[in-house]
Structure 1
Amino acid sequence: MIKKSILGLGLFGIVGTGVVGIAHAVPDGAVAPIHLAAADTAETSTVSAIGVVQQTRPEQGKVKISHEAIPALDWPPMTMFFRVKDKAVLEGIAAGDKVRFELEKGATGLEITRMEKMAK
């Protein structure tokens, strides 16, 4: 009986730690809080990424991007909303644009500090 209890606790611990790293669903347009060990320990304070803009919300300072894998953060390709540090970053950017962008750790998590269109 004790062996089963210990085994059960061990499996719960393994499963429990795996769940912590899984992104959770947020309402459309919400920005999920980002706190990742990889982001905290990245050697540089700026991380570059490439993606395709799905939607912009300049009035909210947000942009939805389907980005490629970001090895510096150990992130697979995914689609998510990002905050921009300055709304001016979104000027001239529209849905469908392929962009290169830079992320920096800000007060509310990772924020886009720079974005430029790329050739399609």
Structure 2
Amino acid sequence: MKLTLIAVASTIVTLSLSALAEDMPGMKMDGMEGMQMTQDVKQTPVAKAEGTIKAINSEKHTVTIAHGAVPAVQWPAMTMAFSATADQLAGLNPGDQVIFEFRSEGAKATVVSIKKMK
């Protein structure tokens, strides 16, 4: 008798959960038309900073820059590596003072533009 009750209770729970899952596609999304479910990399804000190039790694396509505080992304002054393309690194050398724009995604930052300061 106990096994029958357990089997019936398990079936009822399973069917209830299945019925709830079927209701999900019918959820009303009124007022949520502008909401995106995924974050597009192109929409990540671009931040600007100034700094001094400490190192360039052409093989890994990175540039290490000691930069000042970046209020746009709430970063303190620090020295860190940024991903960059070969074209962006062309003509740059350690010791150059630069102004640059970048996008930050988690622990990875990518240079959008970089120019030597005069």
TM-score by length of 2: 0.58
Stretches of structure 2 lacking an aligned partner (at least 5 in a row): 1-42
Which residue is equivalent to 1:95?
A: 94
Q: Distance in 2 between matches of 1:105 and 1:98?
A: 21
1:61 aligns with 2:61: yes
Q: 1:60 is paired with a residue of what secondary structure?
A: coil
- 1:36-86 Cα offsets, whole Å, 9 max, x none, are xxxxxxx972111100000001121001100000000111111111111x2
Number of equivalent positions: 76
Q: Distance in 2 between matches of 1:88 and 1:48?
A: 19
Q: Distance in 1 between matches of 2:56 and 2:108?
A: 19
What fraction of aligned residue pairs are identical, expressed as a percent?
Answer: 33
Q: CA RMSD in A?
A: 2.2
* Structure 1 residue 102, shift from structure 2 partner: 0.7
TM-score by length of 1: 0.57
* Structure 1 residue 113, shift from structure 2 partner: 1.5
Which amino acid is 1:49 matched to? A
* Structure 1 residue 97, shift from structure 2 partner: 0.3
Alignment of 1:36-55 (within 5 A): 45-55=45-55
Stretches of structure 1 lacking an aligned partner (at least 5 in a row): 1-42
Bigger radius of gyration: 2
Change over 3 Å in CA distance of 1:44–1:68 after alignment to 2 = same
* Structure 1 residue 110, shift from structure 2 partner: 2.2
Q: Distance in 2 between matches of 1:59 and 1:95?
A: 16
- Following TM superposition, where does structure 1 have runs of at least 4 consecutive aligned residues deviating by more than 4 angstroms? none
Which amino acid is 2:63 matched to? V
Which amino acid is 2:52 matched to? V
Which amino acid is 1:92 matched to? G
